């Protein structure tokens, strides 16, 4: 993994602008779907039933390509940004983490990127680059959404790495070294989280469920 190699400020500015546009589109769609859910509840569905219908509608929109948000574009932007993050210098990594402070919707998607896209492609391609990109996304997220969701995503990535025949601990440690060492919400830092994930109670619990030692 190449580290501390400054990347073009123009490239970073372009990524930030694209993220802003995608985030705005997704937040607007969320508002529209929220109004649609209220209409379903007023029509007699309970809250959980209405939420299920809306979630299915959202997933159908992504699959059919009719959603106002281009999910494939977002994934491509994150692929490129995570790649830039891995070779950026310390100041630029701090800047990239800051890109997501005001982009709530795409920041939430980082967990799906880690445990979904990156984990799936680790297995299907056998390419170690997806290990780095998934872990870069975890480093970028910096525990700013839901800590439990991040653990689940990291667990999925770890198991995918093992399935693909890689040594997860080495990759987790490598990205831990370039992650923030600032405690988050009074908890340990992302650097500590990634470095210690191999001995975490959560990882032991999911490996135990899978019958692995």
pLDDT in tens, the chain (213 residues): 545 566 677 788 999 999 999 999 999 999 999 999 999 999 999 999 999 999 999 889 888 888 888 899 999 999 999 999 999 999 999 999 999 999 999 999 999 999 999 999 999 999 999 999 999 999 999 998 888 899 999 999 999 999 999 999 999 999 999 999 999 877 789 999 999 999 999 999 998 765 443
- How deeply is 51 buried, as exposed, middle or buried, from its count of CB atoms within 10 A (0-12, 13-18, 19+)? middle
H-type alpha helices, 43-182: 47-64, 71-87, 90-99, 104-112, 119-125, 129-141, 147-163, 168-176
- The pTM of the full predicted model, rounded to 2 decimals, is 0.87
Q: Is residue 1 in a domain?
A: no
Contacts of 208 (CB under 8 A, 6+ apart): none
For the chain, how many structural domains are there in total?
1
If DSSP codes are grouped into helix, strand and coil, which group holds residue 128?
coil
Instruction: Return the H-helix or E-strand segment holding 6.
Output: none
Q: Is residue 90 in a domain?
A: yes
Which domain range does residue 98 map to?
Answer: 9-209
């Amino acid at each position: 993994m190449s580290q501390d190699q400054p990347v073009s400020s123009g490239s970073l500015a372009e990524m930030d602008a694209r993220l802003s546009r995608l985030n705005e589109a997704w937040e607007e769609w969320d508002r529209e779907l929220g109004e649609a859910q209220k209409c379903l509840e007023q029509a007699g569905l309970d809250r959980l039933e209405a939420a299920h219908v809306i979630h299915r509608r959202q997933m159908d929109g992504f699959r059919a390509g009719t959603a106002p948000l281009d999910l494939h574009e977002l994934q491509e932007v994150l692929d490129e940004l995570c790649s830039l993050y891995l070779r950026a210098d310390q100041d630029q990594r701090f800047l990239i983490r800051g890109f997501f402070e005001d982009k709530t919707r795409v920041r939430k998607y980082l967990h799906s990127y880690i445990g979904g896209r990156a984990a799936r492609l680790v297995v299907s391609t056998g390419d170690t680059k997806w290990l780095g990109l998934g872990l870069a996304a975890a480093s970028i997220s910096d525990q700013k959404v839901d800590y439990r969701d991040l653990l689940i995503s990291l667990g999925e990535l770890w198991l995918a790495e093992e399935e693909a025949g890689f040594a997860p601990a080495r990759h987790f440690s490598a990205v831990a070294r370039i992650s923030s060492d600032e405690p988050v919400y009074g908890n340990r830092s992302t650097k500590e989280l990634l470095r210690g994930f191999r001995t975490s109670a959560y990882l032991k619990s999911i490996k135990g469920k899978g019958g692995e030692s």
